[in-house]
């Protein structure tokens, strides 16, 4: 997809539209050919590009670590084993520093979240026109290659973590303990009548705090990665505005790509760290 064949607005809209499959208003099922058709498909539409790249990158993560595990040696480790051990040690240190309970699921969960989100974010460094140009020749109208710029993906991961929080919160504390945390704090009184008046207030405050956890997880990752992708797209538009602006855009893109490596890693680390903290809170009794 070349920027000079579209207006700037059309170019931006094209690169921010997902390849969407769903039900058309006439009842037939198929792929949307424009943003209006995708919007008309409603809630049950599927973003095929988000699903595809998420699964591919998840498979890449599994393949890499399985390959290292199959070839692991107690002697002098190879470069791949060194790299894998460094990642595992980094995640393990984070878990030991933030998770105080005992749960063998938390460390593998943190490792999966960190590497998977990092790989999804890393796709933002692929030139914005490269894959859409290739898929265009195959007749595919849209192709967003950064799953973490799709709120469906970030909310999906956040709700997965949220489900584990609720499960372990109830499992560790019981229904009574979990309900008590939502209704008996932060305001309390020894007078049962006053305490009864505090219960709906406490529930409102604690419920909002509880729901804010997955929402903040999802929106933080989505917002940062979406903004980063938008900047790459805006820089790409400069290539169609003459040689001088094209060269300037090249320097801008290089600088932003180098800086974006920090954002990519930081967002994966923040999502992982908050997941560990939230899981620790689910295991802690107040």
Q: What are the DSSP calls for 208-230, one per residue?
A: HHHHHHHHHHHHHHHHHHHHHHH
Does 152 participate in catalysis according to the annotation?
A: no
Q: Which of 8, 191, 216, 284 is catalytic?
A: 216
Residue 1 reports pLDDT greater than 50: no
Does 216 participate in catalysis according to the annotation?
A: yes
Residue 76 reports pLDDT greater than 80: no
Model confidence at 105, pLDDT cuts 50, 70, 90, reads: very high
Query: What residue spans define the domains of the chain?
Result: 61-283
Q: Which of 103, 220, 240, 241 is catalytic?
A: 220
The continuous run of DSSP H or E covering 43 comes out as: none
Cβ atoms 182, 202 nearer than 8 A: yes
Q: What are the DSSP calls for 104-165, one per residue?
A: TTHHHHHHHHHHHHHHHHHGGGS-TTHHHHHHHHTT-------GGGSHHHHHHHHHHHHHHH
Q: Which of 224, 240, 241, 284 is catalytic?
A: 224
User: 173-231: per-residue pLDDT in tens?
Assistant: 999 988 988 888 888 878 888 888 888 998 999 999 999 999 999 999 999 999 999 99
Q: How far is it, in rounded angstroms, from Cα 17 to Cα 200?
A: 43
pTM score above 0.85: yes
Mean pLDDT of 75-79: 80
pLDDT of the residue at 209: 92
Residue 4 reports pLDDT greater than 50: no
Q: What is the mean pLDDT of the chain?
A: 89
User: 24-59: per-residue pLDDT in tens?
Assistant: 888 889 998 888 888 889 888 999 999 999 999 999
Does 96 participate in catalysis according to the annotation?
A: no
Query: Which residues, at least 6 apart from 41, have a Cβ–Cβ distance to it below 8 Å?
Result: 20, 22, 23, 24, 32
Residue 270 reports pLDDT greater than 50: yes
């Amino acid at each position: 997809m070349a920027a000079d064949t579209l207006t700037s607005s059309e170019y931006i809209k094209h690169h921010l539209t997902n390849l969407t499959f769903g039900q058309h208003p006439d009842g037939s099922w198929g792929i949307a050919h424009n943003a209006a058709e995708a919007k008309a498909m409603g809630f049950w539409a599927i973003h095929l590009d988000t699903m595809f790249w998420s699964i591919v990158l998840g498979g890449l993560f599994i393949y890499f670590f399985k390959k290292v595990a199959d070839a692991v040696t107690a002697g002098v480790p190879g470069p791949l084993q060194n790299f894998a051990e460094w990642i595992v040690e980094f995640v393990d240190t984070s878990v030991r520093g933030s998770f105080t309970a005992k749960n063998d699921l938390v460390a593998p969960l943190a490792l999966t979240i960190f590497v998977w989100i990092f790989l999804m974010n890393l796709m933002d460094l692929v030139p914005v026109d490269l894959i859409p140009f290739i898929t265009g020749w195959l007749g595919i109208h849209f192709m967003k290659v950064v799953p973490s710029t799709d709120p469906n993906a970030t909310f999906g991961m956040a709700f997965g973590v949220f489900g584990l929080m609720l499960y372990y919160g109830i499992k560790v504390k019981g229904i009574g303990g979990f309900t008590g945390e939502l209704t008996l704090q932060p305001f309390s009184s020894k007078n049962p009548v006053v305490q009864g008046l505090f219960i709906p207030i406490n529930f409102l405050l604690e419920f909002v705090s509880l729901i804010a956890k997955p929402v903040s997880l999802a929106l933080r990752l989505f917002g940062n990665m979406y903004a980063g992708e938008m900047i790459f797209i805006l820089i790409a538009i400069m290539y169609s505005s003459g040689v001088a602006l094209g060269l300037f855009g090249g320097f801008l893109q290089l600088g932003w790509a180098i800086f974006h490596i920090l954002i990519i890693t930081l967002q994966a680390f923040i999502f992982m760290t908050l997941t560990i903290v939230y899981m620790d809170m689910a295991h802690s009794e107040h």
